Amino acid sequence: MPTSLPPNPFPSSVFHAAYQLFLALEAEASDSEVLQRCPAPIVCARLLSHLLRLAPARNGQGQVQREIASAVDNVELMKLAGNYLNHFARARTSQLIHYLGSIHLTCRFVHS
Protein backbone atom coordinates (compact mmCIF):
# COMPACT_ATOMS: atom_id res chain seq x y z
CA MET A 1 0.00 0.00 0.00
CA PRO A 2 1.50 3.38 -0.96
CA THR A 3 2.21 5.94 1.71
CA SER A 4 -0.51 8.56 2.07
CA LEU A 5 0.04 12.20 1.31
CA PRO A 6 1.41 14.12 4.27
CA PRO A 7 -1.09 16.11 6.31
CA ASN A 8 -2.00 19.53 4.98
CA PRO A 9 1.09 21.70 5.57
CA PHE A 10 -0.67 25.01 4.89
CA PRO A 11 -2.38 27.21 7.45
CA SER A 12 -5.98 28.14 6.69
CA SER A 13 -5.72 29.82 3.28
CA VAL A 14 -6.40 29.28 -0.41
CA PHE A 15 -3.40 26.92 -0.43
CA HIS A 16 -4.91 24.93 2.45
CA ALA A 17 -8.19 24.62 0.52
CA ALA A 18 -6.34 23.47 -2.61
CA TYR A 19 -4.39 20.84 -0.68
CA GLN A 20 -7.62 19.54 0.84
CA LEU A 21 -8.77 18.75 -2.71
CA PHE A 22 -5.75 16.45 -3.14
CA LEU A 23 -6.43 14.68 0.13
CA ALA A 24 -10.02 14.11 -1.00
CA LEU A 25 -8.89 12.92 -4.45
CA GLU A 26 -6.43 10.54 -2.82
CA ALA A 27 -9.14 9.19 -0.49
CA GLU A 28 -11.47 8.58 -3.45
CA ALA A 29 -8.74 7.30 -5.80
CA SER A 30 -9.64 3.63 -5.55
CA ASP A 31 -13.25 4.43 -6.49
CA SER A 32 -12.40 6.93 -9.23
CA GLU A 33 -12.36 6.09 -12.90
CA VAL A 34 -9.04 6.42 -14.70
CA LEU A 35 -9.43 8.91 -17.52
CA GLN A 36 -7.93 8.46 -20.95
CA ARG A 37 -4.73 10.53 -21.35
CA CYS A 38 -4.57 11.17 -17.60
CA PRO A 39 -2.53 9.47 -14.91
CA ALA A 40 -4.28 7.39 -12.26
CA PRO A 41 -6.14 9.48 -9.65
CA ILE A 42 -3.59 8.68 -6.95
CA VAL A 43 -0.79 9.92 -9.22
CA CYS A 44 -2.77 13.09 -9.95
CA ALA A 45 -3.24 13.81 -6.25
CA ARG A 46 0.44 13.32 -5.55
CA LEU A 47 1.68 15.29 -8.55
CA LEU A 48 -0.51 18.30 -7.83
CA SER A 49 0.22 18.23 -4.10
CA HIS A 50 3.96 18.22 -4.76
CA LEU A 51 3.61 21.03 -7.28
CA LEU A 52 1.70 23.14 -4.77
CA ARG A 53 4.11 22.41 -1.92
CA LEU A 54 7.32 22.78 -3.91
CA ALA A 55 6.49 25.56 -6.37
CA PRO A 56 8.38 28.80 -5.74
CA ALA A 57 6.54 30.99 -3.26
CA ARG A 58 4.32 33.75 -4.58
CA ASN A 59 4.08 33.63 -8.38
CA GLY A 60 4.74 29.93 -9.01
CA GLN A 61 2.76 28.68 -6.08
CA GLY A 62 -0.01 31.18 -6.71
CA GLN A 63 -0.30 30.09 -10.34
CA VAL A 64 -0.56 26.43 -9.38
CA GLN A 65 -3.16 27.28 -6.72
CA ARG A 66 -5.27 29.32 -9.18
CA GLU A 67 -5.26 26.50 -11.72
CA ILE A 68 -6.27 24.04 -9.03
CA ALA A 69 -9.03 26.33 -7.76
CA SER A 70 -10.42 26.63 -11.28
CA ALA A 71 -11.00 22.85 -11.41
CA VAL A 72 -14.67 22.21 -10.72
CA ASP A 73 -14.32 18.52 -9.85
CA ASN A 74 -11.92 15.57 -9.66
CA VAL A 75 -12.12 15.05 -13.41
CA GLU A 76 -10.80 18.58 -13.96
CA LEU A 77 -8.07 18.01 -11.36
CA MET A 78 -6.99 14.85 -13.15
CA LYS A 79 -6.93 16.66 -16.50
CA LEU A 80 -4.82 19.42 -14.93
CA ALA A 81 -2.38 16.85 -13.54
CA GLY A 82 -2.25 15.21 -16.98
CA ASN A 83 -1.40 18.55 -18.57
CA TYR A 84 1.42 19.17 -16.08
CA LEU A 85 2.72 15.64 -16.53
CA ASN A 86 2.67 15.91 -20.33
CA HIS A 87 4.44 19.27 -20.13
CA PHE A 88 7.18 17.87 -17.88
CA ALA A 89 7.52 14.71 -19.98
CA ARG A 90 7.96 16.76 -23.17
CA ALA A 91 10.52 19.01 -21.49
CA ARG A 92 12.48 16.03 -20.17
CA THR A 93 12.25 14.24 -23.54
CA SER A 94 13.58 17.34 -25.28
CA GLN A 95 16.47 17.55 -22.80
CA LEU A 96 17.20 13.85 -23.26
CA ILE A 97 17.22 14.15 -27.05
CA HIS A 98 19.56 17.15 -26.81
CA TYR A 99 21.81 15.23 -24.39
CA LEU A 100 21.89 12.10 -26.56
CA GLY A 101 22.62 14.23 -29.62
CA SER A 102 25.58 15.85 -27.88
CA ILE A 103 26.91 12.41 -26.86
CA HIS A 104 26.60 11.24 -30.46
CA LEU A 105 28.51 14.29 -31.72
CA THR A 106 31.19 13.82 -29.05
CA CYS A 107 31.59 10.16 -29.97
CA ARG A 108 31.88 11.00 -33.67
CA PHE A 109 34.50 13.67 -32.88
CA VAL A 110 36.57 11.35 -30.68
CA HIS A 111 36.47 8.45 -33.16
CA SER A 112 37.23 10.59 -36.23
Q: Which long-range contacts (CB under 8 A, 24 or more apart) does 32-38 make?
A: 32/74, 32/78, 35/75, 35/78, 35/79, 35/82, 37/82, 38/78, 38/79, 38/81, 38/82
- Using 50 as the pLDDT threshold, list the residues of the chain that sit under it: 103-112
Residue 98: what pLDDT? 52
Please state the pTM of the whole predicted model.
0.72
Residue 54: what pLDDT? 87
Q: Can you tell me the distance from the alpha carbon of 92 to that of 23, in angstroms, rounded to the nearest whole number?
A: 28
Residue 106: what pLDDT? 44
The CA–CA distances, whole Å, from 62 to 7, 18, 51, 54, 66 equal 20, 11, 11, 11, 6
Residue 14: what pLDDT? 93
Rounded to the nearest angstrom, the gap between the alpha carbon of residue 86 and the centroid of all alpha carbons in its chain is 9
Residue 105: what pLDDT? 43
Residue 104: what pLDDT? 41
Residue 56: what pLDDT? 86
